[in-house]
Structure 1
């Protein structure tokens, strides 16, 4: 049976002056009284977008929002026969306000199952289920470019193909000293929702690195900056660690995580820059 629901996207907007925000959750109310919500668990999504933000600010704001939505869930359950009251409460919840946690204008859709609907909306608006791994890595490359720019390092790097004429491999950030590639930086998206996807994407780069290493065409230092899967997902993390370990098995290849702080990432990058050109 189809039901009509209203939904709204929960957004985290720590700096009202810029208007920048990150989608972090979904709230939904159906005309049969079903209320559902889902909030992003990974803080890296927010801290990567707002690198200068103290993560404790987001964690506290998220904790308070989760407590409020949990409290409202009890109210909706106890009053599900009074649809007018529920809709009024939902409208008040998503009403515009001057806080770090804000809601989008409500949308309307027909659904069959509230649990499935909130998951699908979350995957679309928060996880960007429409985005390919190429799209995800473009975002990671853009973030790395901003980090290098802020540290006055970006001008030392350029996009470059390493390898041979028959087998060129493109890296987005390569530092050349004379004719020698001394460092190559490659953000890699390994935050997939299935172990097989992590392994497939990781294996593709392991194969490329193996060929480059055999042909002695790797940079002196190659640093993969990998985005990890969701915390607490044992099978996903196992696949992630396996790929990272295999990559680190090649001479001159290192791996770090996008979950590291900006300062830690910069330290890892600088470790691979020869002292003579620091």
Structure 2
């Protein structure tokens, strides 16, 4: 059977003055009376977006809204046959309020499985399932370009393909000296949510570096700015460490984390530029 579902995105907005928020959950009411919800279990998404925020503020707000959802689940179950009552309660739940936890305007979708639909909405709006590693790396490249511009370095770099007629690799930021590459910088996304995916993407770059080194076409300094996993899960961190250690094992190759303060990132970039170019 197909059900019509109303849903809304739960957002955490600690500073109303800026209007910035992080999507942290989904609530859903189906036409068969089912009420479902899901909230992100970890705080990393929020603390990384709002680094100056005391994480306890978020945890307290999340626990309060979670308790409210538990209470509402009982109410919805008790009145499951009264769709008018449920619809009114759902609208009251997502009504705009001046609090840190807010809801998006409601959306409508049809499904024959409300549980799967909740997961799909959560993956899309909270976990950004549409954001592939290619998308993530474009974001990292854009951020790095902004940092280079702010540091008066951007004009020294161009996008180049390093290699030869048989094999070449794209680097978004390369400093050239006549025909030789002095420095090549590549943001790389290693924040996947499965160890196998981190190894897969990391190994692809290890292979590229190995081939360029064999052809003697690596830049004098190759700097990878690597996005680490958002989770502290040991298996993810182990995969990240193994990949970055292997990359850094090649002569002239360095790896730094993308979440370093901007000042440290600029220092690492400048460290690979010959003194004559400073």
Same-fold status (TM-score > 0.5): yes
Asked if 1:162 is matched to 2:158, the reply is no
**Structure 2: distance between partners of 1:232 and 1:3:** 38
Task: Please list the CA deviations of residues 118-149 of structure 1 after superposition, one character each: whole Å capped at 9, or x if unmatched.
Answer: 32212112333233322221111111112222
* Deviates most, 24-33 or 130-139: 24-33
The answer (yes or no) to whether the contact 2:27–2:35 under 8 Å persists in 1 is no
Q: Is 1:242 aligned with 2:242?
A: yes
Matches within 5 A, 1:182-201: 182-201=182-201
State yes or no: 1:71 paired with 2:72.
Answer: no
Moved more, 232-241 or 95-104: 95-104
TM-score normalized by the length of structure 2: 0.83
- CA deviations over 1:48-87 (Å, ceiling 9, x no partner): xx6xx54326x45632441232121221133231355554
RMSD over aligned Cα atoms:
2.8
CA deviation string 1:188-211 (max 9, x = no partner): 122222222221211111111001
Of structures 1 and 2, the larger Rg is shown by 2
List aligned pairs for 1:197-276, cutoff 5 A. 197-276=197-276
**What residue in structure 2 maps to residue 55 of structure 1?**
52
- Say if 1:90 and 1:21 are closer, same or farther in 2 by CA, change over 3 A: same
Deviates more, 1:218-227 or 1:27-36: 27-36
Unaligned runs of 5+ in 2: none
Partners of 1:17 and 1:154 in 2: how far apart?
Answer: 32
Aligned positions, number: 273
| Structure 1: stretches of 5+ with no match in the other structure | none
Partner SS state of residue 55, structure 1: coil
Cα displacement (A) at 1:173: 0.6
Question: Could you say if the C-alpha distance between residues 254 and 42 of structure 1 is closer, same or farther in structure 2, counting changes exceeding 3 Å?
Answer: farther
Native 8 Å contact 1:38 1:119 kept in 2: no
User: Cα offset for 1:224?
Assistant: 0.9
Q: What secondary structure, in the 3-state scheme, does the structure 2 residue paired with 1:219 have? A: coil
Which residue of structure 2 lines up, in the alignment, with residue 34 of structure 1? Answer: 35
